[in-house]
Amino acid sequence: MSRHGTARGSAANRRSPVAVESNEAFEAFYRKQGVVAEELWDDFIQTLRTPMPVVVRINRTKPHWEELHNSFAEDLRWSQLPWFPGAWQCDAKDYDDALRSQCSALNKSYALRFQEAASLVPPLLLEVKPADLLLDLCAAPGSKTLECIELMRENGHKSSQDGETGVVIANDADAERCFELLPLITRKARYPGCAVVLGNGAKYPAQFRGQDDQLLYDKVLCDVPCSGDGTLRRRPHCWKSWSVDFPLTLHQKQLLILCRGLHLLRPGGRLVYSTCSMNPIENEAVVTAALARFGGDVRLAPSDLPKELRVAKCLQTWWVPDPQDSGCFYKSWTEVPTSQRKPSGILVESMFSSGELDPRGCFRLNPHEIDGSGFFVAIFTKTAHRSFPVQIPSSRLMPEIPWRARNENNRYTVVSTDNSDVQSIVKFYGLRDLPEPLVAEYNIKGKLTQLNLVNSALLQLLQSHLNCKGSPLLVSLGIPLFKVLDDNFMTNIDVPRWRPAMEGAQILAQKMEKRVLRISLEQMRKLLMKRLLPMQSLLTLGTGNELKGLESCEEKLGGAVVGTMDGTFWVPCIITGSGLELYASLEEVGDPLPKLLPPLRPPVISATEEVMVLDKPSGLRTEDALRFVQQKHPGAELVSRLDKETSGCLLIPLTALSAKEFTQQFAENKVQKCYVAVVHGHPPEKGHITEALRLVQLGGGTKYRAFVDDTGKAASTRYERIWGKPGGPSVLLAYPETGRTHQIRCHMAHLGHPLIGDTKYGGHVTFWCDRLPLHCLSLVARDLSGQILKCFAPIPEEFLAALVAVCDGELQGEQWQQLFREKGQVIPKP
Ligand SMILES: C[S@@+](CC[C@H](N)C(=O)[O-])C[C@H]1O[C@@H](n2cnc3c(N)ncnc32)[C@H](O)[C@@H]1O
């Protein structure tokens, strides 16, 4: 069985729906459009009702990314998306709190990004090259922009071209969303050729480098605003609000943005149009209308898709709903009543199908096939460009940057290297070769506040002539390198007013010969938490091995950068009379080297050619443990199970013959087991529970609960209390003589002593135990030759910590292990 995300069977088959969401109009609309074949309808609709898997994209431009990649490969909860390098997928139900907090920490430090599978596709199909001019017309909140930048860098490394020579313009029409995008671009991507721009994509200006020399983009991404019904799995509340009308209001806007993107594309360039909507009026209709508008100058680009990526053909015909008459649909513009064919009406001619679409350049990503959101993608290329004649001055480039910023004071100017501020920075920080070109940023009060690094290609683009009255607004430009210090700081001291900026610290650390400090990883973590290293500690650390480079701060006071010894993480700081103060916090920048949880992979306790016994960790499903075994032994099968939250010995036969043998041994209760359990209260010292159990399926899904019921199956559990005080809790050894589902849990609950935290059976959660305290300590069976097979799984760390807490430290971890080694062995039956 493959571990690849798309190869584990359909999403709907693997999961049960969590909520029965529905909308009759939605189902009627999409059935009529024929978006999926009738026989796949149930799979499609069921998938839309199941939670999305979590998908992460490892940032392969970061140091240590391979370590992270390997840790995902080791962990059975993650499967790799075979069509996207570095993307991993985890089932929603395996994504527990521990995994969530680990991934959030990794996301914060930009070791990975969360991005659903289908959304990875549009940037991938842009085929970005390191030196491309790329325009992302609808960029916020920025996942795809970031992905494009990473791909540019990666492709740059592959072709050993400098990966930083391209340009990425991230435009969005929504100011708030632009500001959401900002930290991603400046803090995470840190790409000198990137500008964030606020403007209407449909009116993005034409730019000219000279007479009849229009600046055109190599790549354009139009990930347009859409009704978003492909993301119902992520936003189940939208089932209720879905209507046929809303998408109709978006069609023209989408078409205008696409047409603008196509106009700005260079001949031979590539444009990707995408939506997370499944509606043909927002998808195929927009594409056909744009093709018609450009005559033969643009066409769909047949593309080689990764072979493992499952895509569905685009529609060639579709129905347009009448917004005034529910249930009424039109196939062609001529069918629309004349009264509705007004220029101001909702229905427009471009919504109707006209002409064939090349399915090799235009396709759908169906939720049930990609196990993600529904998406639509079309790839265009251009064969000819028609420009409008414009009168522009004869000089090729403008001396200044004609783009507006947020107001007239807030502007950007090109900075020359002999500028006196720049000279003082070079001297103070010992800058070997000053990164350039630099632009100065003036804030909205007109005060010079920042020096930003851009690259030459971006500067040229910004100095070209804009063919419009007011330009879109520049929200950010390049990478901030230096920031001005507060006016009232160190007024009488002869140090420059400039300190390194957070965004540029990494670049500066490679170029500065002075004022570069390195500290150990542990000290860096402490510093990020406290943000201040008092002067005395700074001086003390500076004399030892934990801090290096203090001698490079001749003047002592003033800006500096501080990083980890391996040089992979840098932040700006300032040395003042009180010590070293950091301009960053752990909250903002994340951990320099987030700790990885040990991968969830079961250790093997014993293995022969016929049978393997694993020490299954809590949190791993038995089915996933089986997959691990099947990687080497494809014939392995399950004959017994442990609940996901239960840890310990799990026996898996490796061949059909041994499966038959062990099935029989389990059925005849010949496999002896001993479990450790922590229960509420103080049960009698020894007991034997023989109540029959009946298993009931919950909510039509794969969840079960056992009940004591005379009509159920015979069940027998012996137990012995090995630690406990009146009032509880108590630690037991339990010996199930039968193998019913949830047997120990249900039997103990029936006795009035449910397991701690076992809320399904009436247990209560405690702060000292965050897993089900049930562990299969030992197991005895007979192998195929009749020899005794005896296995023992020591108590896992987190369970041990809970036991120490239960007894208030009366027994320490090793003492508990020793107790179990002595008492927890099962004596084989003769
Ligand atoms: C689907 S989202 C883009 C998602 C983004 N590409 C990403 O991957 O994170 C569409 C974006 O288009 C923006 N938008 C809406 N109308 C626009 C217009 N006329 N021009 C440019 N952007 C627009 C919205 O503010 C929204 O941020």
Q: Which residue's alpha carbon is at the smallest distance from atom 15 of ligand 1?
A: 225
Residue 528 has pLDDT above 60, yes or no: yes
Q: Which percentage of the chain shows pLDDT scores above 70?
A: 93
**pLDDT at position 55, please?**
97
Q: Which residue's alpha carbon is at the smallest distance from atom 13 of ligand 1?
A: 138
Tokens matching residue 613:
């016994």
Q: Is 256 in the pocket of ligand 1 (CB under 6 A)?
A: no
Q: Is 255 in the pocket of ligand 1 (CB under 6 A)?
A: no
Q: Is 225 in the pocket of ligand 1 (CB under 6 A)?
A: yes
**219 close to 133: Cβ distance less than 8 angstroms:** yes
**237 close to 269: Cβ distance less than 8 angstroms:** no
User: pLDDT tens for residues 177-190?
Assistant: 998 999 899 889 99
Q: Is 503 in the pocket of ligand 1 (CB under 6 A)?
A: no
Residue 702 has pLDDT above 80, yes or no: no
Average pLDDT score over residue span 537-542: 91
**Nearest atom, ligand 1, residue 141 CA:** 9
- CA–centroid distance, 142 to ligand 1, in Å, is 9
Tokens matching residue 394:
């004869």
Average pLDDT score over residue span 746-765: 94
Q: Is 138 in the pocket of ligand 1 (CB under 6 A)?
A: yes
**617 close to 647: Cβ distance less than 8 angstroms:** yes
* Closest by CA position to 214, among listed 269, 137, 258: 269
- CA–centroid distance, 610 to ligand 1, in Å, is 58
- No. of helices (H) and no. of strands (E), the chain: 23, 41
- CA–centroid distance, 170 to ligand 1, in Å, is 10
Q: Is 223 in the pocket of ligand 1 (CB under 6 A)?
A: yes
**pLDDT at position 497, please?**
86
**315 close to 280: Cβ distance less than 8 angstroms:** yes
**pLDDT at position 161, please?**
54
Helix axes 245-263, 284-293, angle to 10 degrees: 40
**pLDDT at position 360, please?**
92
Q: Which residue's alpha carbon is at the smallest distance from atom 10 of ligand 1?
A: 225
333 sits in the region (left: phi over 0; alpha: psi -120 to 50; else beta) called alpha
User: pLDDT tens for residues 96-152?
Assistant: 888 898 899 999 989 999 999 999 999 999 999 999 999 999 999 999 999 999 999
User: pLDDT tens for residues 263-276?
Assistant: 999 999 999 999 99
Average pLDDT score over residue span 730-742: 96
* Closest by CA position to 466, among listed 171, 200, 206: 206
Q: How far apart are CA 144 and CA 136, in angstroms?
A: 9
**Nearest atom, ligand 1, residue 115 CA:** 8
Q: How far apart are CA 347 and CA 808, in angstroms?
A: 73
**pLDDT at position 261, please?**
98
Q: Is 817 in the pocket of ligand 1 (CB under 6 A)?
A: no
Q: Is 222 in the pocket of ligand 1 (CB under 6 A)?
A: no
**134 close to 168: Cβ distance less than 8 angstroms:** yes
Q: Is 202 in the pocket of ligand 1 (CB under 6 A)?
A: yes
3-state helix/strand/coil string of 246-257: HHHHHHHHHHHH
Residue 454 has pLDDT above 90, yes or no: yes
**DSSP readout, 669-729?**
T-SEEEEEEEESS---SEEEE---EEEEEETTTTEEEEEE-TTSB---EEEEEEEE-TT--
Residue 11 has pLDDT above 50, yes or no: no
- CA–centroid distance, 248 to ligand 1, in Å, is 17
**Nearest atom, ligand 1, residue 174 CA:** 25
SS3 313: strand
Q: Where are the alpha helices (DSSP H) in 229-297?
A: 238-241, 245-263, 284-293
- CA–centroid distance, 778 to ligand 1, in Å, is 58
65 sits in the region (left: phi over 0; alpha: psi -120 to 50; else beta) called alpha
- CA–centroid distance, 178 to ligand 1, in Å, is 9
Q: Is 269 in the pocket of ligand 1 (CB under 6 A)?
A: no
- CA–centroid distance, 366 to ligand 1, in Å, is 22
**Nearest atom, ligand 1, residue 256 CA:** 19
* Closest by CA position to 132, among listed 268, 274, 258, 224: 268
Residue 768 has pLDDT above 90, yes or no: no
Residue 117: phi, psi to the nearest 5? -55, -50
**Nearest atom, ligand 1, residue 172 CA:** 22
User: pLDDT tens for residues 406-418?
Assistant: 777 788 999 988 8
Candidate from 314-328, 465-479, 502-516 with smallest mean pLDDT: 465-479
Mean pLDDT of the chain, nearest integer: 90
Query: What is the side-by-side order of every strand in the sheet holding 498-500?
Result: 412-415, 438-442, 448-453, 479-484, 498-500
Binding residues: 138-144, 172, 223
Q: Is 177 in the pocket of ligand 1 (CB under 6 A)?
A: yes
**Nearest atom, ligand 1, residue 276 CA:** 1
Binding residues for S-adenosyl-L-methionine: 138-144, 172, 223
Average pLDDT score over residue span 535-548: 91
Contacts 24+ apart (CB under 8 A), 806-814: 806/678, 806/723, 806/729, 806/731, 806/768, 806/769, 807/723, 807/731, 811/723
- CA–centroid distance, 124 to ligand 1, in Å, is 18
User: What kind and span of H or E run contains 510?
Assistant: helix 505-511
State the DSSP code for 120.
Answer: G
* Closest by CA position to 217, among listed 324, 282, 141, 133: 133
Q: Is 282 in the pocket of ligand 1 (CB under 6 A)?
A: no
- CA–centroid distance, 115 to ligand 1, in Å, is 16
User: pLDDT tens for residues 566-622?
Assistant: 999 999 999 988 899 999 998 889 889 887 766 777 889 999 999 999 999 998 889
Instruction: Centre a 10 Å sphere on the Cβ of residue 446 and count the other Cβ atoms it contains.
Output: 12
**pLDDT at position 33, please?**
96
State the DSSP code for 490.
Answer: S
Q: How far apart are CA 121 and CA 57, in angstroms?
A: 12
In the chain, the domains with their CATH numbers are 20-41+121-338+345-382 (3.40.50.150), 506-594 (no CATH), 604-823 (3.30.2350.10)
SS3 102: helix
Mutate to test the pocket of ligand 1, among 172, 198, 255 (most ligand atoms within 8 A of CB): 172
**pLDDT at position 396, please?**
61
- CA–centroid distance, 196 to ligand 1, in Å, is 13
SS3 170: strand
SS3 73: helix
**pLDDT at position 400, please?**
78
Q: Is 174 in the pocket of ligand 1 (CB under 6 A)?
A: yes
Tokens matching residue 721:
């209390």
Q: Is 181 in the pocket of ligand 1 (CB under 6 A)?
A: no
Q: How far apart are CA 780 and CA 791, in angstroms?
A: 6
Residue 329: phi, psi to the nearest 5? -130, 150
User: pLDDT tens for residues 455-501?
Assistant: 999 999 998 888 777 778 999 999 999 999 875 555 555 667 899 99
User: pLDDT tens for residues 339-367?
Assistant: 888 888 899 999 998 888 999 999 999 99
Average pLDDT score over residue span 696-715: 83
| Catalytic residue (one of 276, 362, 649, 674) | 276
For residue 4, name the pLDDT band (cuts at 50, 70, 90). Answer: very low
Residue 392 CB burial class (10 angstroms; 0-12, 13-18, ≥19):
middle
End-to-end CA, the chain: 39
Q: How far apart are CA 348 and CA 336, in angstroms?
A: 10
Average pLDDT score over residue span 652-663: 96
Mutate to test the pocket of ligand 1, among 125, 134, 138 (most ligand atoms within 8 A of CB): 138
Q: Is 276 a catalytic residue?
A: yes
Average pLDDT score over residue span 628-656: 93
**pLDDT at position 828, please?**
67
Please list the residues that pair with 652 across neighbouring strands.
Answer: 612
Average pLDDT score over residue span 15-27: 69
**Nearest atom, ligand 1, residue 147 CA:** 8
The total number of residues shown for the chain amounts to 830
* Residue 525 identity (one-letter amino acid): R
Q: How far apart are CA 313 and CA 332, in angstroms?
A: 21
Q: Which residue's alpha carbon is at the smallest distance from atom 23 of ligand 1?
A: 173
728 sits in the region (left: phi over 0; alpha: psi -120 to 50; else beta) called left
Residue 235: phi, psi to the nearest 5? -130, 65
Q: Is 252 in the pocket of ligand 1 (CB under 6 A)?
A: no
User: pLDDT tens for residues 200-226?
Assistant: 999 999 998 877 789 999 999 999 999
Q: Is 260 in the pocket of ligand 1 (CB under 6 A)?
A: no
Q: Is 144 in the pocket of ligand 1 (CB under 6 A)?
A: yes
Q: Which residue's alpha carbon is at the smallest distance from atom 2 of ligand 1?
A: 225
- CA–centroid distance, 412 to ligand 1, in Å, is 25
SS3 148: helix
Residue 698 CB burial class (10 angstroms; 0-12, 13-18, ≥19):
exposed
**Nearest atom, ligand 1, residue 137 CA:** 21
- CA–centroid distance, 155 to ligand 1, in Å, is 26
Q: Which residue's alpha carbon is at the smallest distance from atom 25 of ligand 1?
A: 174
User: pLDDT tens for residues 664-673?
Assistant: 999 999 999 9
Q: Is 272 in the pocket of ligand 1 (CB under 6 A)?
A: no
**Nearest atom, ligand 1, residue 140 CA:** 27
Residue 447 has pLDDT above 90, yes or no: no
**400 close to 414: Cβ distance less than 8 angstroms:** yes
**Nearest atom, ligand 1, residue 200 CA:** 20
Mutate to test the pocket of ligand 1, among 143, 174, 377 (most ligand atoms within 8 A of CB): 174
SS3 96: coil
Mutate to test the pocket of ligand 1, among 55, 125, 224 (most ligand atoms within 8 A of CB): 224
For residue 20, name the pLDDT band (cuts at 50, 70, 90). Answer: low
